[in-house]
Amino acid sequence: MPKEGFVTSITRQSEDFPGWYNDVVLKAELADYSAVKGCMIIRPYGYAIWESMQGELDRHIKATGHSNMYFPLFVPKSLLDKEASHVEGFNPQVAWVTHAGGKKLEEWLAIRPTSEAIIAESVKDWIHSYRDLPMLMNIWNNVVRWEMRTRLFLRTTEFLWQEAHTFHATAEEAADEVRTGLDCYVKVAQDWLAIPVIQGRKTEAEKFPGADYTWCIEAMMRDKKALQAGTSHNLGQNFARAAGIEFLDRDNIRKHAYGTSWGFSTRMVGATIMTHGDDSGLVMPPNAAPVQVVVVPIFRKDEEKAAVAEAIDKFTAALASTPEGKAVRVKVDWREESPGFKYNHWELRGVPFRLEIGPRDVAAGQGMLVKRVDRSKEPVPLMQLAAEMPARLAAYQAELFQRALDFRAANTHNADTFEQLRDGLDGEGGFFMAPWCGDTKCEKQINEEIGATIRCIPFDSPDEKGKCLKCGGESERRVLFARAY
């Protein structure tokens, strides 16, 4: 029997979820703390996961007509100050450069907390005519938002993300664009990361500072808390007015352009961990898994090693003989460690399938296939497996999504009274669909009293007359309450 190894040194989810999360991030070598408070180092395996979702999102962004470009890290104070609600919303979180070149700066420079302000200032010189619109831009960069309390991937002072910024001739086009952005996020979250999301609109209190309205996707983590997984904002003409972005329309009238912006960050690495992971570590969705199949050779003597190597070579060659098979990310672990060590090593990293091949398997022309998500073991003839691998990965991906969907469904409830909401959150937890009058005062009171926020007003929430949890006023439909990250 194995002694207590470091698998058991991962805090159990049921004991302490944040502790579990931290253990997994650090021990799976996704990230580490750095010399800078609140800032993290993303290590190769964590960065590979980010690159996977980044690549997929980038494909969607380009497919919908957006071009990548780059804007400066610094935003002059005067520019940030132009849009009133924007500056008010972000000021507490902005880091400023006040000195440079050994001198005090005449004008402070903000380290961008987001780029609306500097982009608006820049594009006003590029937009003159309705023919210049729409202008569809996307930027992959880092931003800095000073945080009191940080958590690896979920909330760090500096983080990586994508921010799309678009300008349009009409309000309708801008509204369509908000949908386009959100659709990109829904696809990446659900189809790539197997994270089911609820789409909806943020309340006035929760919307982006400077936006007319904000749409979002919200996901449920395995501790039943909510995580905002992406936001898409309709900026209306707010920034265009502040920066003076005007164009001559086809009716020969000067108009302010309509703007949108939408963002998706490294927080989604954390979402992936907390949606699928278990007490042995990560459980990666195959699409986003840096390694999809790990082969663990087992042998004692040199002859056995040679025979096992030959079988593995045949398997990988057979796999690579079709385009779909060639695309499978296989890793053969020849390190001089014991098989048991490797099992745990790759389970911690969430590799979907492990293929054990030892002398007994070679004799039978098979391999022992182990599924990470449920640890089920199945002997499979190697040539058959090579042919089936792409389909098995696809099935695994679908299974993870369904599992997450079932989990969310099992933990989503209606609450009709304040007491039901409170007791539900304090008890089993989860998502609660509850009537709300639409008043920010009620929303804030509920937040102060029980720590729950309105995550969104879901698009698929049906019309249903009710009485607001807090004030008893008229409610048109239920909204999503939860405790959130």
Cβ atoms of residues 40 and 306 within 8 Å: no
50 touches RNA (CB under 7 A): no
Task: Tell me how far, at minimum, the Cβ of 264 lies from RNA, in Å.
Answer: 10
The residues, ordered by sequence, that sit 6+ positions from 162 with a Cβ below 8 Å of its Cβ are: 54, 57, 58, 61, 138, 139, 140, 263, 264, 265
470 touches RNA (CB under 7 A): no
* Among the listed residues 313, 296, 275, 299, the one whose alpha carbon sits nearest the alpha carbon of residue 355: 296
Of 217, 268, 291, 348, which lies in the binding site for RNA, with binding defined by CB under 7 A? 348
Of 33, 70, 126, 334, which lies in the binding site for RNA, with binding defined by CB under 7 A? 33
Give the residue with the Cβ less far from RNA, 22 or 141: 22
19 touches RNA (CB under 7 A): yes
Tell me the C-alpha to C-alpha distance, in Å, between residue 83 and each of 64, 86, 415, 428. 28, 5, 38, 42
Task: Tell me how far, at minimum, the Cβ of 15 lies from RNA, in Å.
Answer: 12
Task: Tell me how far, at minimum, the Cβ of 13 lies from RNA, in Å.
Answer: 13
Of 134, 181, 200, 209, which lies in the binding site for RNA, with binding defined by CB under 7 A? 209
Give the residue with the Cβ less far from RNA, 124 or 267: 267
Crossing angle for the helix pair 440-450 and 418-426, to the nearest 10 degrees? 40
Question: What's the gap between Cα 129 and its chain centre?
Answer: 37
Task: Tell me how far, at minimum, the Cβ of 383 lies from RNA, in Å.
Answer: 17
Task: Tell me how far, at minimum, the Cβ of 52 lies from RNA, in Å.
Answer: 20
Q: Is 477 helix (H, G, I), strand (E, B) or coil?
A: strand
Of 15, 106, 336, 463, which lies in the binding site for RNA, with binding defined by CB under 7 A? 336
Q: What is the β-pairing status of strands 226-236 and 213-220?
A: antiparallel
Cβ atoms of residues 315 and 385 within 8 Å: yes
Name the one range near RNA by CB under 7 A: 164-172, 189-197, 292-300, 401-409. 292-300
Q: What is the β-pairing status of strands 103-111 and 135-144?
A: unpaired
How many residues belong to the chain?
A: 485
Q: Which residue has the tokens 């009274």?
A: 417
Give the residue with the Cβ less far from RNA, 34 or 129: 34
- With CB under 7 A as the rule, give the number of residues binding RNA: 60
Residues 351-390 close enough to bind RNA by CB under 7 A = 356-362, 368, 370, 375
Bridge partner list, 246: 256
204 touches RNA (CB under 7 A): no
218 touches RNA (CB under 7 A): no
Give the residue with the Cβ less far from RNA, 105 or 484: 484
Give the residue with the Cβ less far from RNA, 319 or 348: 348
72 touches RNA (CB under 7 A): no
DSSP tally for the chain: helices H, then strands E? 15, 24
Task: Tell me how far, at minimum, the Cβ of 355 lies from RNA, in Å.
Answer: 9
215 touches RNA (CB under 7 A): no
Q: What is the β-pairing status of strands 431-435 and 412-414?
A: parallel
104 touches RNA (CB under 7 A): no
Instruction: Name the residue type at position 278.
Output: D
Angle at 263 between CA 56 and CA 394, to 5 degrees: 25
Residues 145-174 close enough to bind RNA by CB under 7 A = 145, 147-151, 155, 159
Question: What's the gap between Cα 480 and its chain centre?
Answer: 19
Residues 224-243 close enough to bind RNA by CB under 7 A = 228, 231
Q: What is the β-pairing status of strands 198-201 and 40-42?
A: unpaired
15 touches RNA (CB under 7 A): no
Q: Which residue has the tokens 């180092």?
A: 41
12 touches RNA (CB under 7 A): no
Tokens of 101: 């070149």
Torsion region of 133: left, alpha or beta (phi above 0 gives left; psi -120 to 50 gives alpha): beta
340 touches RNA (CB under 7 A): yes
Bridge partner list, 199: 217
CA distance 138 to 180: 13
Task: Tell me how far, at minimum, the Cβ of 33 lies from RNA, in Å.
Answer: 6
Name the one range near RNA by CB under 7 A: 118-126, 185-193, 204-212, 325-333. 204-212
CA distance 370 to 159: 35
Task: Tell me how far, at minimum, the Cβ of 66 lies from RNA, in Å.
Answer: 20
Of 168, 345, 408, 478, which lies in the binding site for RNA, with binding defined by CB under 7 A? 345
Name the one range near RNA by CB under 7 A: 85-93, 176-184, 310-318, 394-402. 85-93
Name the one range near RNA by CB under 7 A: 50-58, 167-175, 186-194, 444-452. 444-452
CA distance 95 to 101: 18
Burial of 454 (0-12, 13-18, 19+ CB in 10 A): buried
Q: Under the rule (CB under 7 A), what is the footprint of RNA?
A: 1-3, 5-7, 18-19, 22, 33, 37-38, 89, 92-93, 145, 147-151, 155, 159, 206, 208-209, 228, 231, 265, 267, 280, 298-300, 336-345, 347-348, 356-362, 368, 370, 375, 447-448, 451, 484
